[in-house]
Amino acid sequence: MDSSQLLGITTFILLAASALYIGLFIFRVQGLGVAATALTIVGLLTETAGIILRWMESYRMGIGHAPLSNMYESLIFFAWSIIVLYLFIEFRFKNRMIGAFVMPFAFLGMAYGSYATEFSREITPLIPALQSNWLIAHVIACFIGYAAFAVACGLGIMYLMKARSQEKVGGRATGGLLESLPALRQIDDLTHKTILFGFLWLSAGIITGAIWANSAWGTYWSWDPKETWSIITWFIYGATLHARFTKGWGGKRIAWLAIIGLLSVVFTYYGVNFLLSGLHSYGGR
């Protein structure tokens, strides 16, 4: 079995785990939650094994490098990071319902990476621009940040759904479908902390990327489309945190900004690679 097969199996494991979390949210059968957590852990271990195997395969081909160099490999790491962050949140807050809003992002990342036709999944030699010790640091930092923003988006959607439900009944608990979710204050606090965590990692990613760019192209910043959209995304989340710290923003405002921020992340990551040309276009191949 090669790494692609192992990672393909991971996709179906994450699909099953996502379905179980959604089933838990709808039917509130605790056994579904236990099974969902178990499958998520299995999926994490399977994906980790697939990443390590792909790394080993590159060395056997004589072109050894970390599996972080193209769209497929970065999507795999993106999904892996979401799973790790989600499991931390689940075990920290003892609420599996959150998985219904977060784990589908991990599944979608794996599914798109495994079955999209617009990019290759082959292991190929690194182009000169990617042959740098900064590759691992830059990509890992960026994609941990992106994963945190995906989790924050899921939390934002969860907040808006629960807030809307409570508004309909005058703020009273009704025992309905959404009452099994954490309290609004807890969701809001967790969304804020997740955005802050992602912002710190994105900042580290931009800094390491600038250092890498200077060594590869002789300039720290060239206003390449990827760089431009990265800084736009950074400002969106920076403004969100600034509004939180200085204006006390929370609730629906932060929830909507978490969703808007992820849309910017998606365009920074996907849209720039396939819709705009620039120094970073190779990342989509």
Per-residue pLDDT of 13-28, as tens digits, reads 999 999 999 999 999 9
Least confident span in 105-114, 128-137, 234-243: 128-137
d(CA 63, CA 77): 20
The CATH number given to whatever domain includes residue 84 is 1.20.120
Q: What pLDDT does 174 receive?
A: 55
- Range 110-130 average pLDDT: 89
Q: Are residues 38 and 56 in the same domain?
A: yes
Q: What pLDDT does 284 receive?
A: 47
Residues above pLDDT 70, as percent of the chain: 94
Cβ atoms of residues 151 and 82 within 8 Å: yes
Mean pLDDT of the chain: 91
Three-state SS sequence of 157-226: HHHHHHHHHHHHCCCCCCCCHHHHCCCHHHHHHHHHHHHHHHHHHHHHHHHHHHHHHHHHHCCCCCCCHH
Q: What pLDDT does 173 receive?
A: 55
Q: Are residues 109 and 134 in the same domain?
A: no
Of 88, 105, 125, the residue that ends a domain is 125
Q: Are residues 80 and 151 in the same domain?
A: no
Q: Are residues 217 and 254 in the same domain?
A: yes
Q: Are residues 113 and 221 in the same domain?
A: no
Name the pTM for this structure: 0.94
Q: Are residues 88 and 217 in the same domain?
A: no
Q: Are residues 113 and 136 in the same domain?
A: no
d(CA 174, CA 158): 17
Q: Which residue has the higher pLDDT, 228 or 275?
A: 228
DSSP string, 55-98: HHHHHHTT----S-SSHHHHHHHHHHHHHHHHHHHHHHHT-GGG
Per-residue pLDDT of 188-240, as tens digits, reads 999 999 999 999 999 999 999 999 888 877 888 888 888 899 999 999 999 99
Q: Are residues 262 and 139 in the same domain?
A: yes
Cβ atoms of residues 280 and 218 within 8 Å: no
Element (H, E) at 44: helix 30-60
* Residue 270 banded pLDDT, cuts 50, 70, 90: confident
Q: Are residues 69 and 101 in the same domain?
A: yes
The number of domains in the chain is: 2
Domain that holds residue 96: 1-125
Per-residue pLDDT of 50-99, as tens digits, reads 999 999 999 999 999 999 989 999 999 999 999 999 999 999 999 999 99
Cβ atoms of residues 142 and 229 within 8 Å: no
d(CA 30, CA 218): 57
Cβ atoms of residues 190 and 86 within 8 Å: no
Q: Are residues 93 and 229 in the same domain?
A: no
Q: How far is CA 210 from the centre of its chain?
A: 22
Contacts of 28 by beta carbon, 8 Å cutoff, 6+ apart = 180
Q: What pLDDT does 245 receive?
A: 96
Q: Are residues 16 and 64 in the same domain?
A: yes
- Report whether pLDDT(109) > 90: yes
Cβ atoms of residues 132 and 123 within 8 Å: no
Least confident span in 81-85, 99-103, 273-277: 273-277
Q: Are residues 277 and 139 in the same domain?
A: yes
What number of residues does the chain have? 285
CA-to-CA dists, residue 110 to 33, 98, 149, 222, 243, angstroms: 21, 19, 17, 32, 34
- Report whether pLDDT(272) > 90: no
